[in-house]
Amino acid sequence: MSSDKSSPRSQKKRKTKVSTKAKARKRPAKKQLRKTKARFLKRTTVIPLLLISLVLFLGYLFYLDQRITERFEGRIWQLPAHVYARPLELYVGKYISKEQIMFELDYLNYQKVEDLPQRPAQYRNWKDVFEIKTRDFIFWDGEEDSHTIRVTIKDNKVTELINLYTTQGVDLVRFDAGYLTGIFPSHSQDRVLLKLDDVPDIFIKMLLLIEDRRFFTHWGVDPLSIGRALLVNITSGRTVQGGSTLTQQLVKNLFLTQDKTIVRKINEAFMSLLLELHYDKMLILETYINEIYLGQDGRRAIHGFGLASEFYFGKALKQLSIDEMAVLVGIVKGASYYNPKRNPDHARERRDIVLTTMQQVELITQRQKEKLSSKAVMTVKHASSGLYPAFIDMVKLQLQQDYQADDLQSEGLRVFTTLDPYIQFNTEQAIVNTLPWLSKNEELQAAAVVVSPSNGDVLAVVGGRKPSYKGFNRALNAERQIGSLIKPVIYLAALQDPSRYTLSSILDDSEFSYQAPGQPDWQPQNYDKEYHGEVTLYEALLKSHNIPAVRTGIDIGLDNVIDTLAALGSKKSVSALPSITLGAIDMSPVEVATVYQSFSANGFHSPLRSVHAVLDKDRQPLERYSLEVDNKVKPEAIALVNSAMIDVTKYGTAKRLSDSLSIQVAGKTGTSDDLRDSWFAGFSGDVMAVVWTGYDDNRPTTLTGSSGAMKIWKNLFKEVAYKSYRVPEAPGLVRSWVSAKDGLLTGKDCENAVELLFIEGSQPQQKGDCAAGSSGNWFLDLFN
């Protein structure tokens, strides 16, 4: 019997099939739901990420944009001050040796030739004659053209100075001033700024042809130039052109490092686009011309075609020939490898590539190209830049009275100083070569200042035993006791009253004790620990006796001594203590030089100056430091002291000088307590110098003024002093023979006779005994 109902098992199977089909229908729906959720999550994540990235990118572009505009709308460059030595001047009658002429020409890097000099900075020499062609140069009083001259030197003096082409006499010839150094900011970049109008049109075409042909059509980055450069380089088999635009090169130099990384190249591209967006093409081109790095001169980096033109060829860019311009354009590819001074063959090879490229685009003809390519690469020599840190310190000190420090490092000033390269060199050599003979201890230091007597010009400064070391400047900053250097000041103060004091006045050199309320007794002693009884003022100064100087200083008044020190130019604040009569005054060599300049100029004081003139970056005068002369002491009294200081170098504490020097000089030794400081200050007719030696920690040196500092001074003056010092004749001065023993009038053939200078009316009236038949050699008895 059949039934319509299925068995339970059959029903279960059917339910299972239905369930499987339902699940199958549900799976696509779930999968679609998951995909929809994934798409939604992706959209909700990616879009914010994109927005955040966009904001960050725009922020970074804004940052780059700010860097560009801040630099371009402010001061793009900091231009260092250029510091120059004094220009050598020649005229008939000038004292100068053949050795100095040779030194000066070598210092200025003049080239010696066999024939008549044809180019600037050339010379030839035979015997006493020099034929020289000078360089053009712009001074504080205008531009001076090149001169071709003949100079004859005899007996350390110019005897003939003529123009070689006209054979006419020349009144004055001024050589170019040697470059000393720059007062740089934190970097050492240097440049001479050019306006685009100062750049020849042919040079601009040449530069763009080699470095960026599509400069005026691209937007900072040029894919076509990159492809073209690649093709040209492959065809040539070497790197002839670069793919970077001028704008990219400028951005790299102004804002980025030289690292060859992808990040730097990306930054370079974006910044180039931004730069072109903001600024005119002509401004970008002008900035590039002034920024590009083109070589090195010691620590000074040569930037811009303006300075490179002067550095390599000695003339302005607009004065260059086409082949010389091609050399400069060639340097852009590699400032070291294509440096025409160091690698003239490489520079010539690169120049010829530039000329060939110019010929290919018909900027020059084939004939011009062949003619220009046949020329050798000729660069000019320049004065060697040197390190003179002690002198430059004085320059900065003077300039800072009128200029801010930032101006000195950024405004491109041209500073003409008073430094004499020949005297500076010999001052350094005198210290470097003499110190080892004074002591084997390398801690012994020295400092020196050399000054022109007539005008106070600082000719040389050395601040230590290592002259080029930029450390403690002892010449300017080491204040030490001056010892017996004070004695000429004391006796000058006394001799200004001729009714009381003359060179023949008798002074008391006996035991002395100074008493002051509430103070222990002060008992000064002579250097030799002995007393000499009655001595003349003249003898007391020659032998540098202490006690007569103390007695005289106290007698005329300590305030009078201090006032006389100030009248001689010192600005030192000094307390009126008896010890100042023995030089217990701390002064630097520069401060001592200020005082002794007045002695060397016969009482006429000129403030020391290290700067003569300052020009702005356009070479227009800003400041001239004119000569200042003041006289606050009696010239007659100065003449008396100077006449005695002449004899100090012949018969006194500095008598060894007379055996070493061929000219007459005047000077004074100085030694502080316990031999801690050794000084010598002295002058010829053309040079005055102060030398100090000692230890920085102020320990004893075992050196007196004559055994220490004077030896350095002597070695210096053997090289740089030409003119004897002579006391000038004056109506109010008379000479009389007196006895060096008792100061009374005597005959010149008498024993102990010495001829002294007196202010008229002050000479002794009383006559002394004259021993008949004496040899008259009073010095033999008095000093030996």
Is the domain of 448 the same as that of 334?
no
The backbone torsions φ and ψ at residue 752, rounded to the nearest 5 degrees and listed phi first, read 65, 15
198 shares its domain with 337: yes
Q: Average pLDDT of 275-303?
A: 84
Q: What pLDDT is attached to residue 77? A: 63
The verdict on 471 and 490 lying in the same domain is no
- What does the pLDDT read at residue 13? 47
Task: Return the closest-CA partner of residue 127 out of 159, 162, 173.
Answer: 159
Q: Are 304 and 193 in contact (CB under 8 A)?
A: yes
Which is catalytic among the residues 211, 428, 539, 719?
211
Question: Does residue 222 or residue 170 have the better pLDDT?
Answer: 170
250 Cβ neighbours under 8 A, 6+ residues apart = 275, 284, 287, 288, 291
Q: What is the CATH number of the domain that holds 109?
A: 3.30.2060.10
- Strand pairing of 586-587 and 480-481? antiparallel
Q: What percent of the chain has pLDDT over 90?
A: 60
**What pLDDT, on a 0 to 100 scale, did the predictor assign at position 82?**
86
Judge whether 75 lies within some domain: no
19 is known as an active-site residue: no
Q: Please tell me the predicted confidence (pLDDT) of residue 524.
A: 95
Look at residue 434 and tell me whether its pLDDT is greater than 90. Answer: yes
Which pLDDT band holds residue 43 (cuts at 50, 70, 90)?
A: low
Q: Which residue has the tokens 């060397």?
A: 600
List Cβ neighbours of 741 (8 Å cut-off, separation of 6 or more). Answer: 752, 778, 782
In a domain, 554, yes or no: yes
Residue 357: per-residue pLDDT: 93
Q: How confident is the model at residue 575 (pLDDT cuts 50, 70, 90)?
A: very high
User: Using 50, 70 and 90 to split pLDDT, how confident is the model at 466?
Assistant: very high
Mean pLDDT of 353-365: 93
pLDDT at 11 over 60: no
* pTM exceeding 0.85: no
Higher-confidence position of 517 and 531: 531
Phi first, then psi: what are they for 190, rounded to 5°?
-135, 150
pLDDT of residue 631: 93
Residue 490's SS3 state is: helix
Taken as a whole, the chain contains a residue count of 784
9-18, 124-133, 228-237: least confident range = 9-18
**Final residue belonging to a domain, choices 565, 587, 609:** 587
Question: What secondary structure does DSSP assign to 553-611, as a single string?
Answer: HHHH-HHHHHHHHHHTT--------GGGGGT--EE-HHHHHHHHHHHHTTT-B---BSE
Judge whether residue 123 has pLDDT over 90: yes
pLDDT band of 4, cuts 50, 70, 90: very low
Q: Do residues 498 and 460 share a domain? A: no
Q: Has residue 597 got a pLDDT over 80?
A: yes
Mean pLDDT of the chain: 86
Of 610, 506, 486, 587, whose CA–CA distance to 85 is shortest? 610
Same domain assignment for residues 198 and 117: no
For 456-486, give one letter per residue: b (16+ CB within 10 A) or e: bbbbbbbbbbebeeeeebbbbebebbbbbbb
Q: How confident is the model at residue 774 (pLDDT cuts 50, 70, 90)?
A: very low
649-678 pLDDT, tens per residue?
999 999 999 989 999 999 999 999 999 999
Structural domain of 566 = 480-587
Residue 1 lies in a domain: no
Please report which confidence band the pLDDT of residue 2 belongs to, taking 50, 70 and 90 as the band edges. very low
Q: State which amino acid sits at residue 664.
A: Q
Among 381, 415, 441, give the residue marking a domain's end: 381
Question: What 3-state DSSP class applies to 661?
Answer: coil
Which one of 225, 244, 452, 484 is the catalytic residue? 484
- pLDDT score recorded for residue 778: 40
Residue 64 domain-assigned (yes or no): no
CATH number at residue 367: 1.10.3810.10
pLDDT band at 516 (very low <50, low <70, confident <90, very high): confident
Distance of alpha carbon 498 from alpha carbon 147, whole angstroms: 54
- Of 36-45, 172-181, 607-616, 716-725, least confident by mean pLDDT is 36-45
Least trusted range by pLDDT, from 5-19, 62-76, 135-149, 575-589:
5-19
Residues 104 and 169 in one domain: yes
The whole-number pLDDT of residue 385 equals 55
pLDDT digits (tens, 9 = 90+) for 219-265: 777 777 666 666 766 776 665 555 688 888 887 777 656 665 676 66
Q: Select from 538, 571, 587 the last residue of a domain.
A: 587
Residue 687 counted as domain residue? yes
Residues 203 and 304 occupy one common structural domain? yes
Q: Residues 392, 403: one domain?
A: yes
The pLDDT value given to residue 48? 67
* Statement to judge: residues 498 and 619 lie in one domain: no
113 within a domain of the structure (yes/no): yes
Output the CA–CA distances (angstroms, integers) from residue 712 to 149, 589, 673, 686, in the order listed.
Answer: 36, 14, 21, 18
CB 92 within 8 A of CB 161: yes
Q: What confidence category does residue 340 fall into, taking pLDDT thresholds of 50, 70 and 90?
A: very high
What is the model's pLDDT at position 68? Answer: 63
Position 284 scores a pLDDT of 85
What mean pLDDT is predicted for residues 351-361? 94
Q: 228-246 in b/e burial notation, b at 16+ Cβ within 10 A?
A: ebeeeeeeeeeebbbbbbb
Q: What is the CATH number of the domain that holds 598?
A: 3.40.710.10
Q: Is there a domain that residue 136 lies in? A: yes
pLDDT in tens, 368-386: 999 999 999 988 776 555 5
Instruction: Show Cβ contacts of residue 449 under 8 Å, excluding neighbours closer than 6 positions.
Output: 458, 460, 461, 475, 589, 590, 592, 593, 689, 690
Q: Based on the fold, state whether residues 408 and 425 are members of the same structural domain.
A: yes
- How many distinct structural domains can be found in the chain? 5
Instruction: Find tokens 């059917």 and name the residue.
Output: 14
201 plus 316 within the same structural domain: yes
Does the structure show a pLDDT above 80 at 1?
no
User: Which pLDDT score, from 0 to 100, does residue 767 have?
Assistant: 83
- Return the pLDDT at 321: 92
Residue for token pair 């937007």? 219
Give the separation between CA 457 and CA 395, rounded to whole angstroms.
12
- The reported pLDDT for the residue numbered 259 is 60
Q: What is the pLDDT of residue 784?
A: 38
301 with 353, same domain: the answer is yes
Helix (H, G, I), strand (E, B) or coil at 44: helix
Reply yes or no on whether 575 is catalytic: no
Higher pLDDT, 22 or 606: 606
Task: Look at residue 226 in the predicted model and tell me its pLDDT.
Answer: 64
Query: pLDDT grade, residue 776 (50/70/90)?
Result: very low
Q: How buried is residue 266: exposed, middle or buried, by Cβ count under 10 Å (0-12/13-18/19+)?
A: exposed
Calculate Rg over the CA atoms of the chain.
40
Q: Flag whether 642 is in a domain.
A: no
* Separation CA 69–CA 278 (nearest Å): 8
